[in-house]
């Protein structure tokens, strides 16, 4: 999380505030601010949140700016895709893992026989995908359908939804979610 200190200092000085003044407004000690700005310690989420609050910022704005920039490259080899699931059940391989400030989550999914997704909290997003191999039972709200190669889906993530592999072998889906509230 490099650059946190430099960015914080830029924010503070731009407002013409001293460390002590910012400390008083945020409830964090001025020495802590000094150490954070010089990258000599990594603040807790609570601490950083308090400081950003006094500067009129939020965590998301702060890190959105920090992590912004163009991706390092446009192409990703199959072997490079980062695994964020578990291959023995449901493998989720992330496309464009080093794209800094993504607006979309694209995944190559691979379901082991019988694998089922966990119940998820409702979130405002749109989710679409297409089955590439096998057979997947998709439930959205009160509707259920078995999708096979070539079949697709598109729904609002706010509705309760789940996926279950009903093929005796492996099933594969390519999916996209936006915004990436994954």
Partner DNA sequence: CAGGACTGTCGAGGATAATCAACAGGGGCG
Partner DNA sequence: CGCCCCTGTTGATTATCCTCGACAGTCCTG
Q: Which does 11 bind (CB under 5 to 8 A by kind): a second copy, DNA, none?
A: a second copy
> Which stretch of DSSP H or E encloses residue 28?
none
* Residue spans of beta strands (DSSP E) within 45-160: 82-83, 90-94, 105-111, 126-133, 135-140, 143-148, 152-156
Restricting to residues 147-176, which ones interact with DNA according to CB under 7 A? none
The C-alpha atoms of residue 50 and residue 55 are separated, in whole angstroms, by: 9
The neighbouring-strand residues paired with 144 are 139
Residues that contact DNA, how many (by CB under 7 A): 24
Residue 72 makes contact with DNA by CB under 7 A = no
Segment interacting with DNA (CB under 7 A) among 36-44, 110-118, 120-128, 140-148: 36-44
- Which residues lie near a second copy (CB under 8 A)? 1, 4, 6, 10-11, 13-17, 21, 42-49, 54-61, 63-68, 82, 84-86, 89-90, 92, 94, 97, 100-102, 117-118, 120-121, 123-124, 179-182
């Amino acid at each position: 999380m490099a650059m946190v200190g430099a960015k914080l200092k830029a924010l503070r000085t731009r407002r013409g505030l001293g460390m002590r003044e910012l400390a008083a407004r945020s409830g964090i000690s001025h020495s802590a601010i000094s150490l954070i700005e010089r990258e000599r310690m990594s603040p807790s989420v609570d601490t950083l949140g308090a400081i950003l609050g006094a500067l009129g910022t939020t965590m998301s704005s702060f890190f959105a700016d920090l992590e912004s920039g163009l991706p390092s490259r446009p192409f990703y080899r199959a072997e490079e895709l980062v695994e964020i699931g578990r291959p023995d059940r449901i493998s989720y391989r992330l496309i464009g893992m080093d794209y800094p400030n993504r607006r979309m989550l694209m995944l190559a999914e691979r379901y082991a026989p019988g694998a089922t997704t966990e119940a998820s909290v409702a979130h405002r997003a749109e989710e679409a995908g297409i089955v590439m191999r096998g057979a997947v039972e998709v439930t959205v709200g009160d509707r259920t359908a078995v999708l096979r190669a070539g079949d697709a889906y598109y729904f609002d993530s706010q509705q309760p939804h789940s996926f279950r592999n009903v093929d005796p072998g492996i099933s594969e889906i390519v999916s996209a979610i936006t915004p990436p509230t994954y």
